[in-house]
């Protein structure tokens, strides 16, 4: 089982893209993707319909509150401060 983790890609010292890996069994792959209405977040789902990750298309414009609202809608726990610290 993999634990939830946040991966951020930087370009020229600024966040360029990010991906929030949600807890899941090892080896689970994306079967379906769905973008939010504003297209700033893209949710990846496993074949059984469980969310397995969230692509953050523009990390400098998405707030923690916005991301936590989506996590809540997906039945996931909100991000803890330790998950966001360096």
- Show me where the domains of the chain are located: 1-61
> Which of 78, 17, 74, 18 is closest to 45 using CA atoms?
74
- Is the pTM higher than 0.85? The answer reads yes
The number of angstroms, rounded, from the C-alpha of 50 to the middle of its chain's C-alpha atoms is 13
Question: From residue 3, how far is each of 17, 26, 38 by CA, in Å?
Answer: 20, 10, 27
pLDDT tens, 10-69? 999 998 999 999 998 888 999 999 999 999 999 999 999 999 999 999 998 998 999 999
């Amino acid at each position: 089982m993999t634990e939830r983790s946040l991966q951020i890609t930087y370009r020229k010292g600024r966040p360029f893209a990010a991906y929030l890996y949600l807890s899941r069994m090892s080896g689970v792959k994306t079967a379906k993707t769905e973008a939010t209405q504003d297209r700033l977040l893209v949710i990846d789902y496993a074949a059984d319909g469980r969310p397995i990750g969230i692509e953050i298309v523009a990390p400098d414009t998405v707030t923690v509150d916005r991301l936590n609202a989506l996590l809540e809608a997906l039945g996931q726990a909100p991000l803890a401060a330790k998950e966001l610290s360096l």
